[in-house]
Amino acid sequence: MNTSFSTINLLRYAVAYVFITSGFMKLISTELANAFLNIGLPYPHIMLYMVVLLEIVCGILILLNRAVKNAVIPLIAIMIAALLLTKLPSLNTGFIQFAFNARLDIVVLVLLVILYNRYP
């Protein structure tokens, strides 16, 4: 059994799940959408729908194993922005608090980089 192939598929499924559900939650959860809109981005409503579209479409591409390397690139950008805009400010309360708040974002970012490096 080729465990490398199975492992990379599991990573793809997990990453796809995270982004597809995250995109849909931004659409159906007023609380989550409002939190996004209050981050301070320019044109917040347009940015919200652009991020939702990218998360869902790129998540589906990763799930279907289509254009994975290209689909991962905008998701890496989204995760870096999320870390900078929503997690980095918690450094004011200390490094440990920041590390705790950013732990899942960092794990997803690492998984995205692994997928990027794995696909030609």
For residue 41, is it left (φ>0), alpha (ψ between -120 and 50) or beta? beta
Residue 66's pLDDT is 96
Per-position pLDDT tens, the chain of length 120: 455 568 999 999 999 999 999 999 999 999 999 999 999 899 999 999 999 999 999 999 999 999 999 999 999 999 999 999 999 999 999 999 999 999 999 999 999 999 999 998
55 in Cβ contact with 23 (< 8 Å):
yes
Extents of the domains making up the chain: 3-118
According to DSSP H, which parts of 29-94 are helical? Answer: 30-37, 44-63, 68-82
| The predicted structure's pLDDT at residue 3 | 54
